């Protein structure tokens, strides 16, 4: 999976440039929110999609939720026509949101030919070693729960044992690794584009989030650290350790049952992921609502981006896609 991180960064260079320009009017040190939803494993769709929406701190969260709930009270699969208020918010000329949808053709089976179980499993010992190094090098006085690193190691080891099982759900494991890699890419993009102070990731309730006690959050942060540490121009401490000026990241834990308290925010990536899952390489679609989303939100958009991934068996390709009218 580590081999994919440079590919993700290379494929999103244009995205980073667009995001930097889009959010250039915001000062550094601000809090930012990333919300995500997924359309994965639907045999009736053309693609598997992981969609992320960056929301600027342009208003209080409760006010944003109230607006979305009013203009789009239902998910995409429950409507025949896309609410204009939701499309306007996603395509608003004011820099309030920026989205990236990672799209994988269903035939690639979540990059199965490349992302083997043994590759996913081989990263776990390295991840545990990295966590131990982070624990050892954390400055004294940092306000970190003393039990935190032990909890991360427990979740990683639990995931490692899961990957070694004969009855492994390999598809779910790939979803976890891909979602964490895409999330880490989003952390990196927002950090580089906005000089973010605080970053919050809100995900829809999903098996890939809940599995192994939300290990996907741990993997996402570790991948983000690896991405950040690979950049040139970093300085080192007197002990020779790289100094990373990273934002504080908060992970929202969705309720296991009942209504998601951020259900309205999740509706943004829900509409994006559901649409891109239906769009063919020739821009074909099965229902008018998907075509409306495509042409009014994605086509010629400066702030709604698509990254297409494909597998040739021995290598992965990823590229930025620009839809034109």
The pLDDT value recorded for residue 314 is 72
Residue 319 DSSP label: E
Q: Which residues of 94-133 are buried (b: 16+ CB within 10 A; e: fewer)?
A: ebbbbbbbbbbbbebbbbeebbeeeebbebbeebbebbee
Whole-number Cα distances in Å, 69 to 83, 87, 263: 11, 13, 9
* pLDDT at residue number 135: 82
Q: Cβ(54)–Cβ(199) under 8 Å? A: no
Which two structure tokens, joined as six digits, stand for 78?
A: 């429950």
Tokens of 258: 């009942």
Angstrom distance (rounded) from CA 154 to CA 160: 10
**Residue-level pLDDT at 70:** 96
What pLDDT does residue 254 have?
65
**Under 8 Å between Cβ of 192 and 98:** no
Query: pLDDT at position 255, please?
Result: 65
Question: In terms of residue numbers, what domain contains 165?
Answer: 4-321
d(CA 266, CA 245): 29
pLDDT for res 248: 84
Q: How many domains does the chain have?
A: 1
What pLDDT is attached to residue 136?
A: 80
- State the Cα–Cα distance between residues 35 and 251, nearest whole angstrom: 11
Environment class of 239 (CB within 10 Å of its CB; exposed 0-12, middle 13-18, buried 19+): exposed
User: 192-214 burial by CB neighbour count: b if 16+ within 10 A, else e?
Assistant: bbbebeebbbbbbbbebbebbeb
**Which of 60, 25, 86 lies closest to 270 in space, CA to CA?**
86
Q: How many residues does the chain have?
A: 325
Contact assessment for residue 13 and residue 188, using Cβ atoms and an 8 Å cutoff: no
CB distance 113 to 311 below 8 Å:
yes
Judge contact between 286 and 278, C-beta under 8 A: yes
What are the structure tokens assigned to 125, written together?
């010992």
**pLDDT confidence of residue 32:** 95
Which residue in the block uniquely carries the two structure tokens 């032990």?
150
Question: DSSP H helical segments within the chain, as ranges?
Answer: 4-11, 13-22, 61-71, 84-90, 117-137, 148-163, 170-194, 207-229, 263-278, 288-293
Low-confidence ranges of the chain (pLDDT < 50): 238
Sign of the CA dihedral running 168, 224, 213, 40: negative
Report the distance separating Cα 223 and Cα 177, nearest Å. Answer: 10
Amino acid 235: pLDDT: 54
* 8 Å CB contact between 35 and 265: yes
Question: What sign has the CA pseudo-torsion 201, 304, 312, 48?
Answer: positive
DSSP one-letter code for 246: P
Tens digits of residue pLDDT in 237-255: 545 555 566 778 898 876 6
Taking the model in full, what pTM does it have? 0.92
């Amino acid at each position: 999976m580590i081999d994919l991180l440079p590919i993700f960064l290379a494929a999103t260079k244009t995205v980073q440039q667009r995001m930097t320009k889009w959010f250039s009017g915001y000062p550094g040190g601000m809090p930012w929110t990333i919300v995500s939803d997924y359309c994965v494993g639907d045999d009736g769709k053309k693609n598997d999609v992981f969609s992320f929406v960056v929301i600027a701190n342009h208003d209080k969260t409760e006010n944003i939720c109230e607006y979305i709930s009013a203009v789009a009270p239902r998910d995409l699969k429950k409507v025949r026509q896309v609410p204009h208020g939701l499309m306007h918010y996603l395509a608003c000329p004011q820099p309030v949101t920026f989205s990236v949808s990672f799209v994988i053709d269903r035939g690639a089976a979540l990059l199965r030919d490349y992302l083997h179980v043994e590759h996913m499993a081989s990263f776990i010992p390295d991840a545990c070693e990295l966590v131990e190094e982070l624990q050892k090098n954390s400055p004294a006085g940092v306000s970190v729960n003393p039990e935190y690193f032990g909890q991360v190691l427990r979740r990683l080891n639990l995931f490692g044992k899961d990957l070694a099982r004969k009855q492994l759900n390999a598809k779910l494991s790939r979803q976890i690794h891909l979602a964490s890699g895409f999330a880490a890419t989003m952390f990196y993009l927002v950090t580089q584009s906005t000089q973010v102070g605080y970053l919050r990731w809100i995900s829809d309730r999903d098996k890939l989030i809940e599995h192994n006690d939300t290990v996907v959050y741990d993997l996402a942060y570790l991948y983000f650290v690896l991405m950040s540490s690979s950049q040139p121009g970093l300085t080192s401490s007197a002990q020779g350790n790289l100094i990373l000026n990273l934002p504080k990241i908060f992970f929202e834990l969705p309720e296991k049952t009942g209504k998601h308290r951020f259900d309205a925010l999740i509706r943004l990536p829900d509409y994006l992921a559901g649409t891109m899952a239906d769009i063919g390489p020739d821009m074909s679609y099965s229902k008018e609502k998907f075509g409306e989303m495509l042409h009014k939100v994605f086509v010629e958009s400066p702030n709604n981006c698509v990254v297409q991934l494909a597998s040739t068996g021995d290598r992965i390709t990823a590229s930025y896609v620009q839809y034109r009218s």
